[in-house]
Amino acid sequence: LQGILILLPGRGEDPKKVFMKTSIPNALRAKGFLTIVPELEYSLFADELIKKQLGEILKIESNHSVNLVLGGYSAGGSVAVSYAEHLLSRDTISDLKCVFALDPPLDLQRVYVTSKRWMHYQCDVLVADGEQTINYLNRALGGSPEDKYENYVSLSPFLASAADGGNAQWLKRIPIRLYTEPDLDFVKNRFCQELTLDDLNVTDLEKLDRVLKKAGNTHCEYIITKGKGYHSWRMADPTDLAEWVVKFSH
């Protein structure tokens, strides 16, 4: 066994279906990696329960030191980044080698503002989505960024308004890949003509990439795809990603 990939799905996604949607597990299996896709409660960060669950999985799977990789899609990508920060912030040396995320909503302050805006757009699908996200953030973080800013600083995987990007400061030395396909024409036609690039997760990834590179992370890769599919597993080329993982897993 070369290593373990903990791969986290998006909201409401069946873990078993992930293996049908992407060949990332297959490509990594060929390199000696075991992929685990756990079933977790919906979250946009690694809360106490998720930290406990992932910690238990790692304890069971690795009786000895093993290369660990964290990755995820959409909300799962946010949790992967957040859990990576948790591991990197501890004093003990972690076996975490690298982390990747496919179009995750990372800046929860931005997500709150975006969701509020969606509720005023003349598009029913976005109104419902906005309400659902606002309710989640109010519950998980105790309120809005105006009322509970300190919670957003301490829990958000990335916060553009905080010094060093908030928790993203822990990502300075870890190889990280951020994938996005900001297909604005597609989302306007599919969901709502009022949408702008500021409404999409690309804005978080672009800012995080700048923060990490400014902090000296020479292994941060910001990958903008075209024609792979907006907000989809297809953004990450499995063979290329597997080779990148192996490169940093020695």
- Digit-by-digit pLDDT tens for the chain (250 residues) are 899 999 999 999 999 999 999 999 999 999 999 999 999 999 999 999 999 999 999 887 666 678 999 999 999 999 999 999 999 998 666 789 999 999 999 999 999 999 999 999 989 989 999 999 999 999 999 999 999 999 999 999 999 999 899 999 999 999 999 999 999 999 999 999 999 999 999 999 999 999 999 999 999 999 999 999 999 999 999 999 999 999 999 7
Per the CB < 8 A criterion, the answer to whether 187 and 141 are in contact is no
> What is the dihedral sign for C-alpha 231, 237, 243, 244?
negative
Can you tell me which residue has the tokens 């106490």?
48
> What is the dihedral sign for C-alpha 161, 167, 172, 176?
negative
Global model pTM greater than 0.85: yes
Separation between Cα atoms, residue 165 and residue 212, nearest integer Å: 9
Per the CB < 8 A criterion, the answer to whether 35 and 129 are in contact is no
Separation between Cα atoms, residue 1 and residue 228, nearest integer Å: 31
Tokens found for residue 112: 């709150």
Separation between Cα atoms, residue 82 and residue 105, nearest integer Å: 11
